[in-house]
Every structure is written in C-alpha cells, then in structure tokens.
Chain A
Amino acid sequence: MRPSLRNESDIPVLSGTRLSRRLGLLGTVAFLLPSVTWLLSLSGSYVVEDFACTAAASADAPPSTAALRAILIGSNVVLMAVTLLAGIAGWWLLRKARSSDTDAMYAFFGWTVLAFAILYAFSIVLIGIHPLLLEVCA
C-alpha cells in the first residue's frame, strides 16, 4: 500500500471515531471569541476616545461628545452580545457532550467557553460603563 499525500491519514483512529470537524471548529471559535471581543472592547474604546480627542484638540475643533459617547457605549454593547453568543455555543456543546471519549472534549470546550463568556462579558461591562460615569475628552 502506498499512501498518497492527500488522503486523510490512514493511521487507526484512537477512539474509533474522528472528532467532528464542524464541532471542533465551533468549539475552537467559541473558545477564542470572548478573548477577542474583550481585546476589541478595550482597544476600541481606547482608540476611539484617545485618538478622536487628541485629533480634535490638535485640529482645534471641539469633538461631539454625545456622538463619541454613543459610539463607545454602542460598540461595547454589541461586543458584549457577541461574547454572550459564544457562551450560548458553550452551553450547547455542553449539552451535546455525552460520556464517550471525544465527547469529553466537547464537555471541556463547553465548560471553558461558558466560563470565558461570563468572565469577559463582565469585564466588558466594567469597561463600557465608564463613558456613562465620566466626561468624554476631559
């Protein structure tokens, strides 16, 4: 037998079935997504606020604080919603997980994704709440 370079490997599979590609992908994306949304929330809030205000200051044109505030809060709400969506995917994976071997993977993904989602959603709230409490560009 001469293996070709394309074939899925013909080495026997450990647990008898291969991990489903689709679920593996879903798990990976949901695993990484909350981190990404949080980074976007922080860096986005920083860039919008800092760059907009500095640019306005050096151009001597006072910025529209109401618009800036709306952008800051709106984008953070959206990012939080996406984070929670990942959490729902985690919940779903968890329900999908039964006891066989690859399913332990789904359970792991489920738990971690759920925990990530809660942690990061809370952290995004911590960031997004400040434009309500403090002046923009002050």
Chain B
Amino acid sequence: MTADSVTDLDDRFDGTWSNPRGFRGFFSVVQHKDVGMRYMVTAFVLFLIGGVQAMFLRVQLAQPENDFLGPETYNELFTMHGTTMMFLFAIPFLEGLASYLLPLMIGSRDLPFPRYNVFNYWCYLLGGLILYSSFLFALVPDAGWFSYVPLSGPDFADRSMDFWLFGLTLAEIAAVGAAIEISVAILRTRAPGMTLNRMPIFAWTMLAVAFLIIVAFVPLIVASVLLELDRAVGTAFFDINAGGSPLLWQHLFWIFGHPEVYVMFLPGAAIISHVIPAHSGRPLVAYPLVVVALASTAVMSLGLWVHHMYTTGLPSLTMSFFTAASMSITLASGLQVFAWIATLWLGKPRFTVPMLYSLGFVVTFVLGGITGVMVASVALDTQVHDTYFVVAHFHYVLIGGMLFPVFAALHHWWGKVTGRHYARRPAVIAFWLVFVGFHVTFFPMHLSGLWGMPRRVYTYEQELGVGLVNLISTVGAFVIAAGVVLLTVNLVISHRRGAPVGVETGDSLEWTTSSPPPSENWRRIPMVTSRNPGWDRDEPVDADTRAALDEAFDARPVEFRATPLTTVLSAEPDGAVLLPRSTYWPLVTPVGLAILAVALLTQWYPLSAVGVVVGIVGLAGWAWRNESEYRVEHVRPLAGRFQFEAHGTRSIGWWAAASASIVIVVAVATLTFSALYLQVNASVWPLEDTVGEPVRFTAVAAALLAGLGVTWRAARQGRHELWDLSRPEVRRAQFIAVAVAMCAAVIALVLLVPLWLGDLDPAAHAYESSVWTLLGAQVLAILAALAMTIAALHARMRHRRDARTGLLLHAAALLWAAAAVSWAMVWMTSDLLPRLVI
C-alpha cells in the first residue's frame, strides 16, 4: 500500500467517525459521548432547579409561623424538589456519566446500542418536560416524592398526579434502557485482556447498578401504571372497598425506592474508588473485597424495602428479618470505607479538589450511616418516623453519598472531558462552602426532628422551640447555594478559557487516550494487562492478538463503525459489533409516547391514536434503517476473523433480546406479586368463579409454545454455515417459521383480546382489575414477540444471506420464551391459584 492510500484510508476512517454538528447534529447524534454529555447537562440544570425549590422551602421555614409560602405551594415545592432530585437529577446524571465514561474505561468505541442510548435520553427529556409543564397549568403534583395512595389516588388528587405519573414513567423507561445498555457493554465489549479481575470498580458497580435498575425500576413502572389505571380506568388496586390495598403501593414503591438509594450511592462510591487511588498514586487496596462489598450491597438493598414501613403494623417477626438485613448491609457497605482508608494510608494523598470532595464524602457518609443504623432500629424509627430527623438522615446519605462524589467526578474528569483545566482556588473555596454549608444546614435538622418537628409541614409554632435551629438550617442552605453557584461558574468559565491540559495520568484506561477523546475513542484498540492500565501502559502484550486486532481495527474499518466483542469472563476477542451512526429515528418513538401522555392528560383521546401511530412508525423506520445498514459489505468478517453475525451469544443482538425478555418477565412477575398480595390480604374476596376457561387458556399456551418452537428451530438452522451463505432450503425453512409464528401470535391474540376487553369489569373488584391488567400485559408480551418475528421477516426479504435472519429469529425465540413464561404466570394468578381458594 502506498503512503497516499493510507492517508486516504485514514481520512475515510475519520469521516466515518465524524458526527453532524449544529441543528442536525442536535437531533441526530447517537455517539455515547454526546449523549452522555447531554444527559449530564440536562440533569445538572434540573439539579439547579431543584436547588432553587429547596431554597424557597428553607426561606419559608426560616422562622416560625412564616407566610412566605402557603401550605399548598409548600406541598408542591417539596414534592417537586424531591421528585426532581431523585428521578430527574441523580439517576439520569449517573446514567450520563456512565454513558460517557464506560466505553472509555473499558476500551470500546461506543456503547453497544448507540441508537437505543439516545432513544432513552429523549424519553428522559420528554418525561422531565411533561412533569415541569404542570407549572403551566397550575397543576403541580403535591403528594410527596413517594406519592402514597390514597392521597395520590382518584379520590384525593386532581390531574396533577397524572403529570407526575406520566413524566416519571418516561424517565424510568429511560433508566431501564440505560441499564440494558450498560450491562451489555460491560459484559461483552471490554478491551481484550480486561478479564473480570481487571475490570475498573466503576464498571463492576455499574453492572451491579444495572441489575438493580432492572429488578427495582420495573416494579415502579408497574406501580405507576396500576395507579394510573386506578385513576383513569377505575380499577381497584388501591381501593380498600373493592379488595384493593393502599399498602400495595407502599410495597411496590419501596421495592423500588430503597434500591434506588443504592443506585445513587453505589456509583458515588465507585467514583471515590477511582479518585482516591488516582490522587494517592496507589492502586485501590483489597480490590476483590471491594467487589464483594459493592455486589452484596446491591443485592442486599433489594431486601430492605420493608424498613420504610415499620410503622404500618407488620408482625414483629416479619420486621425482625428486615432489621437483620439492614444490619448486614451496613456491614457490606462499611467494607468499602476500610478499603478507601487503607488506600489513603498506604499512598501519598494529594489534596486536590476531587480528593477534598472524596474526604467530605467519607466523613459525611459515615455520619449518615450512623443515623441510618439508628432509624433502622424499629424502636427509634417509630419515634422519629416522619420527622426532620429522617429528613436530615436522607440528605446526609444523598448529598454525602451522591452529590459530593458527583462533584468529585466533575473535577476529576473535567480535563479529560473538556481538555481544559479549571481554576483551582475558586474550586477549593466552592468545596468549603458546600461542605460547611451542608453540615450547617442538615445537622440542626436532627435536633429539630428529635424535638418533635414533623416533616412536610409548611410551618411550625413558636412554642415548639425549633425556631433557632431552623434559622441556622436556612443560613446553611444559602451557604451551599453560594458554593454551588461558584462551582458552576468556575467550571463554565474554564470550559471557555481554561488552560489546555497536557498529558494526564490516572489509574484506569480512559487516561491513555487524548483529552478530550476523539470520536472513536481509540484509533487502535487498547489491550489490557493489569488492573491499572493507565499506569501500566507499557507492559508487553501478546503479539499475535495484537497483530490480529490491528489488522482488523487499527484505524479500521473505514466505511462503517465497529468495535471488538470480547468474552464475558476473560475478555478474549471473539467477534465484532457494527456500531450505527447518526439518525433521527430514535427521536420519533419518544415523541409518540409523549403525544400519548399529552392525550391522556388532556383526556382528548383521539390524539392518543396519533401518539400510538407515531410510536409505531418510529420503531418501524428505525428497524428499516438498521436493516439497510446490515449490508453484506458491512458484515464481512474483519481481517477475515472478527465476525459480526456469529451464532447465539456471540452476536450482540442476542444480548439485547435476552435483556428485553428479562424486563418483560420481571414486569409480569411484579403484576403477579401484586395480584397475589391483594388476594392474600383482602378481607373480602367474594369469588364464586374465576375467569379461567381451560380450553381457551390451554390453546393460548399451545400457540405460544408453537411460536417458541418454530422460531427456535429455524434459528438453529444454518448456524454452521459460512457467514454469507444462502441456501434455498434454509431460506424456505425461515419463511415457514416466520409464517407459523405469525399465525400463532394472531391465534393467541384472537383468543385473548375478546376475553380481555369482553365481560371483565376492571372497576368491579380488585380481582377483576388484576386479571384485566394481567391479560393486557400478556397481550403486550405477545405483540413484542410478534414484532420481532416481523423484523425477522423483514430481514429475510432484504438480505440474501441466511445468517442475519437466523439471528433475528433467535431474538424472536427469546421473546417468545418470555411470552410463554409470562403466560404461565398469568394463568397461574388469574385462574389456578384463585381456584384453590374457592
């Protein structure tokens, strides 16, 4: 090859990785750094808004019997403050950070499903806009950030609750999507050589967090849907008079809510686990133990929700189980603190700005943990439940455990992300303002709580004697605000005028690329030989693998974007992923969902049809566009070795389909749990008969198994072939499988839909409500399997080679399996188990 043609190829490589700018770029970019940055900027703006709301609250509380805000406004503001901070700032900011950093940390060129990533961002943005549009209509939600029923139910809340429910559901859909994205990225796209035992702690943590999001946020989505059904359709899930139970909302909310705290805290801790070693010049001490600590903290957080319900009258033995779990999690999360202290001890800590925030974090977190242990004991909790003691406790955990680390991260990675230095002095001053202000604000709240000041009241009487402590809190809040403003201004100015950074070093892989990183992150895919690739960059690597990787990926491929696939445990390269480029399509479906939400909010139902159509068009156009890019020239094995369309788990699509199936199963399992919970707890369950029709239900099961069977079988056909082969008999078998599966879906729907929309009266009783909803969910699960089957048909018609259709059939089979499992659960809860009780 001549030198000329090499530069020519390099130019084409750069062209492939360049992103559109300006207006077009804004709506079409899908690259992980752009999307991650957008998430973070949006979330930070919402943080400032939530902060302003907090200042209003504090001004009102500055003196007794104040009338700066009325009780209604106060309720609205604390609700919006809590909701914004938890759902629109904390979680999305961390998703954005992960979206930006993870590929850099694990050595890939993008997240595995870039378009899905931006789809999630749009859902989040539109959800936030819907929630905040409530201000325009003077219908601001006011039922608190956990919206307990009956306060939020049809009898007490006006349409403001609908804004809350729709806005949050969109934001939660985004969170679940981000979790899928993150977990597949970590499992399958790590740099060659980054075995599990060399994964950065941030990656371990995000993997655990992704797991938490999938098992905990899906229940919140389900709970929101149930509440919206109670409000809009008149179902009786939370209505005591018709067999429902308000406690169901509390269970579902806290099954989500407690893990959510850890979804915020664990990434915070992970940031600290990177900042402390990087600024002490010493690898993290006891890495395996930190992995154990964070993983068990994540798992245990799933078992703690009941401690938010100590005052609801559960049997004492039941509560003792959860107290035990609370104690265990303290142990698990405490382990990490020892690792940090040991790292500081053995290293040479430099008191940089990120380090200051880290130390602030450790101090605050330990104090918050102590009050946490206190409220986890049943005796104390019954005393201080719903007082300012609790407000103090959770702000210690949230601000100490999440906000300080986020500020540490902003400074730690600022140079990496922007390529510029921030000014140090203002940053240090901002730290002290935030840190001191924080303790001045929240420490006194412990006292006002112990002295009997309840939370969520707009004012208090002079005689309670908490005037002084409240005034101190308010002064502290202004000090925090000053710090936050200074921090923000300093960073914004440095972004424009800061001195460019030179070569920076740090422990993890992202420090080995330039600052800011190029669009493709790595021209040459890095190979990892240790836990601290940023420090050990010159270690020798295996020459054969290096050569194979370079042949395929060194500034290659030039016509399209690609990154290597590696195995889950030992990160051996075993294939490649085709990474899609910019497109508008992922924006369309979120807009459809938002239109749907607006239609339901305004009760102008014809509009909802528009929303559904836009949503479907968006998905179809997206699928069309994808298929156009899976051209045969694009999936030819790179360097003759790195395959794009290998069978089963060796293709990235399998992981997407498997994740989708898991989400479906978790959602239906949550519905099942809810239905059974109501059934067991209802005092009246006046059932003479179930909806069960043995013949019909068996026929549905048979149809679903048929769909599963044919797609599975056809997916296995031709899997031993050459990658671009097309054989008439395989082609025919694939067509037949698609046809049979589509018939099976239609049959199942024809059997179910009339039953679902027929005689059932979802408003009559919680039993019928739950059956109605379960059947509806089952219909959706079948539609998902059908859609994937149609996607396989589409691929069959567009491509000559058999492999692509085989892969999509495999994905369809996974969704068919989910539909079948979900049907087993639906059948059991709607028919088999109730029959036992009759």
Contacts and interface: CB of A to CB of B under 8 A. Distances in A.
Interface of A: 1-6, 8-16, 18-19, 24, 27-28, 35, 38-39, 42-43, 45-46, 49-51, 53-55, 58, 102, 104-105, 107-108, 111-112, 115-116, 119-120, 122-123, 126-127, 130-131, 133-138
Q: Pick from B292, B332, B541 the residue with the most CB of A within 10 Å.
A: B292
Contacts of B548: 11-12
A6 B288 CA distance: 35
27 contacts: A1-B640, A2-B723, A5-B647, A6-B720, A8-B574, A9-B650, A11-B642, A12-B544, A13-B545, A18-B572, A19-B567, A35-B295, A38-B328, A46-B321, A49-B318, A54-B680, A58-B680, A102-B570, A104-B197, A112-B291, A116-B292, A116-B295, A119-B296, A119-B331, A123-B328, A130-B321, A130-B324
A127 B332 contact: no
A39 B303 contact: yes
A9 B570 contact: no
Contacts of B299: 35, 38-39
B192 A14 contact: yes
Contacts of B682: 58
B683 A58 contact: yes
Given A38-B300, A134-B316, A126 B569 contact: no
Nearest to B326: A126
A10 B288 CA distance: 32
A50 B641 contact: no
A12 B642 CA distance: 11
A12 B193 CA distance: 12
Contact of B303 (A16, A42, A137): A42
Contacts of A131: 317
A31 B410 CA distance: 33
B575 A9 contact: yes
A107 B198 CA distance: 12
Interface string B301-321: 011001000000011111011
A50 B193 CA distance: 48
A94 to B, nearest CB: 11
A116 B332 CA distance: 10
A1 B722 CA distance: 11
B525 to A, nearest CB: 12
Contacts of A55: 680
Given A13-B572, A24-B570, 10 more contacts: A3-B637, A5-B719, A9-B574, A16-B542, A42-B303, A46-B306, A116-B292, A122-B328, A126-B328, A136-B317
Contact of A5 (B288, B318, B570, B643): B643
Interface in B174-231: 192-193, 195-197
B545 A43 contact: no
Contacts of B317: 49, 130-131, 134-138
A137 B316 CA distance: 8
A9 B573 contact: yes
A43 B303 contact: yes
A4 B569 CA distance: 24
B325 interface: yes
A18 B289 CA distance: 26
Contacts of B295: 35, 116
Interface size class of B (residues with CB under 8 A): 35 or more
B645 interface: yes
Contacts of B680: 51, 54-55, 58
A45 B573 CA distance: 44
B196 A3 contact: no
A86 B178 CA distance: 32
A50 B318 contact: yes
A134 B318 CA distance: 10
B428 interface: no
Contacts of A13: 545, 572
Contacts of A111: 288-289
Interface in B559-584: 567, 569-575
A122 B330 CA distance: 13
Contacts of A14: 192-193, 527, 541-542, 545, 570-572
Nearest to A24: B569
Given A5-B723, A12-B548, A123 B572 contact: no
B643 A127 contact: no
B789 to A, nearest CB: 21
Contacts of A4: 720-723
Interface in B721-739: 721-723
A135 B548 CA distance: 66
Q: Pick from B318, B567, B574, B719 the residue with the most CB of A within 10 Å.
A: B318
Interface in B325-364: 325, 327-328, 331-332
A102 B803 CA distance: 33
B303 to A, nearest CB: 4
Contacts of A107: 197
B458 to A, nearest CB: 37
A120 B647 CA distance: 37
Contacts of A16: 542
A18 B642 CA distance: 17
A111 B327 CA distance: 23
A49 B300 CA distance: 20
